[in-house]
């Protein structure tokens, strides 16, 4: 495989948020839950504003961009792990060993299907809860309205995106048009839950979503006999973030994705590792420096 030449260097600006790994340890199964104020610290920005912490932080980020040198950009990524899916339920019931060795290779068991796994009822409620929380944050806590929403093409992320953010945007007169990014999908394994449905299905079920240029009709990335390495996954995530930072004019972005891809994002932006629960949102202030012009 040709070695990837990075066009951007990404850095997580950690001083604005609680210690995510330490906080995660106190959560059930050591998986971070959605935090009060989304983990933002109420710090001093050398201003006289008395507005909520998130409103002052949003203003501060805009000032960082105004003062940045050429090639440097700051964006806030609200990274969402999709709600609980059928595959999560089956893996928990059967155990990780049986899941990996047997059940994960099948499309389903006759009563349930987990190929491109859908949300279960609990996952639907997790996404709705996230929607209520973020809407309240916009109304009362200064949360910024997302400039853009990006989602994995897998069904559980497409559904989470709609349940969590469609009402928030449309209620405020903003067009709901998430951008579907192939590279935002889960780490590629031989598990059928990681194989996506066809482009035609996505367009039929989610007609308001915008598929990126070149999005293939069939899943050309998933193979039943191939497992993506950590290095390959990180290279894919680097490419994803470079594409977003190079083409996106907005500052406050939502990324709806999966557990392993969230971990890959942490590696690419240089954030410490921690696990995240289903239906959870975590913000990151990311500084990007363009290396090649």
Distance, CA of 53 to CA of 41 (rounded, Å)? 8
Q: Which of 37, 182, 186, 278 is catalytic?
A: 186
Q: What are φ and ψ of residue 109, in 5° steps? A: -125, 15
Q: Please confirm, yes or no, whether 122 is among the known catalytic residues.
A: no
Contact 4, 239 (CB under 8 A): yes
Tokens standing for residue 239: 């490419």
Contact 57, 141 (CB under 8 A): no
In which element (H, E) is residue 126 found? helix 121-140
* Helices and strands (DSSP H and E) totals, the chain: 9, 9
Q: Which of 37, 82, 182, 258 is catalytic?
A: 82
Distance, CA of 166 to CA of 197 (rounded, Å)? 22
Q: Which of 96, 225, 250, 52 is nearest to 169 (CA)?
A: 250
31-32 vs 281-290, strand pairing mode:
unpaired
Q: Please confirm, yes or no, whether 186 is among the known catalytic residues.
A: yes
Residue 257's DSSP bridge partners are: 81
Distance, CA of 205 to CA of 202 (rounded, Å)? 5
Q: Catalytic site residues?
A: 82, 186
């Amino acid at each position: 495989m040709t070695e990837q030449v990075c066009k951007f260097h990404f850095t997580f600006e950690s001083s604005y948020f609680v210690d995510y790994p330490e906080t995660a340890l106190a959560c059930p199964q050591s998986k971070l839950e959605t935090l009060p104020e989304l983990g933002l610290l109420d710090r001093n920005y050398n201003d006289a504003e008395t507005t909520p912490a998130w409103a002052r932080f949003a203003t501060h980020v805009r000032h960082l961009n105004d003062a940045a040198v050429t090639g440097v950009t700051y964006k806030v990524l609200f990274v969402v792990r999709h709600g609980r899916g059928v595959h999560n339920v089956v893996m928990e019931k059967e155990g990780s060993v049986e899941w990996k060795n047997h059940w994960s290779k099948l499309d389903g068991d006759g009563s349930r299907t987990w190929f491109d796994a859908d949300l279960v009822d609990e996952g639907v409620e997790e996404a709705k809860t996230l929607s209520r929380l973020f809407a309240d944050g916009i109304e009362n806590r200064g949360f910024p309205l997302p400039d853009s929403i990006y989602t994995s093409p897998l069904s559980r992320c497409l559904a989470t995106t709609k349940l969590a953010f469609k009402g928030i945007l449309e209620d405020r007169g903003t067009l709901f048009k998430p951008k579907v990014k192939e590279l935002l999908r889960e780490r590629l394994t031989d598990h059928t839950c990681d194989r996506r449905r066809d482009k035609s299905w996505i367009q039929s079920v989610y007609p308001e979503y915008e598929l990126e240029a070149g999005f293939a009709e069939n899943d050309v990335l998933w193979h039943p006999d191939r497992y993506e390495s950590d290095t390959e996954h990180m290279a894919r995530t680097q490419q994803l973030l470079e594409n977003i930072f190079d083409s996106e004019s907005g500052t406050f972005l939502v990324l709806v994705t999966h557990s392993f891809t969230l971990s890959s994002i942490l590696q690419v932006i240089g954030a410490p590792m921690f696990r995240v629960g289903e239906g959870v949102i975590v913000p990151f202030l990311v500084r990007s420096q363009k290396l090649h012009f």
